[in-house]
Amino acid sequence: MNLYVSNLPYTMTDEEFQQVFAAHGQVSAARVVKDRESGRSRGFGFVEMPVEAEALTAINTLNGKDIGGRPLRVVEARPKEDRPPRDFRGGKRE
C-alpha cells in the first residue's frame, strides 16, 4: 500500500521518515519529496508498505501524531490518474 504523508518537519531525512513507519511494519520505500532547486524538503512524502494490515495500522497510529512539533497527516495515496490536471498558467482551463 502506498501512503501519502504531509505536514512533515522540514528537517526530516528519508532515513528518519522510514524509521517512523518501520515501527509499524515492513517498509519497502520511504521518500521525503524535496524541492528540485534548493534540495529542501517540501514537507510531504510517500511510504510504501507491502502488507496492507501494517499500512492501515500505521495510518491509524500516525495520523495526527505530533512529530517535530507538527501533526502528521497520513492517508492512502491516490494513483496519479485519479488526480485532476494541473493548470500552471494561473487561469481556468478551457
- For the range 27-34, what are the long-range contacts, defined as Cβ-Cβ under 8 Å and sequence gap of 24 or more? 32/8
- SS3 state of residue 62: helix
> CATH classification of 2-76 is 2.60.40.1220, yes or no?
no
The mean pLDDT value of the chain amounts to 89
Domain boundaries, the chain: 2-76
The residue among 49, 45, 41, 43 whose CA lies nearest residue 23 is 49
Q: What is the pLDDT of residues 33-79, one digit of tens each?
A: 999 998 899 999 999 999 999 999 999 999 999 999 999 999 999 88
Distances (CA, A) of 18 to 64, 80, 89: 17, 22, 36
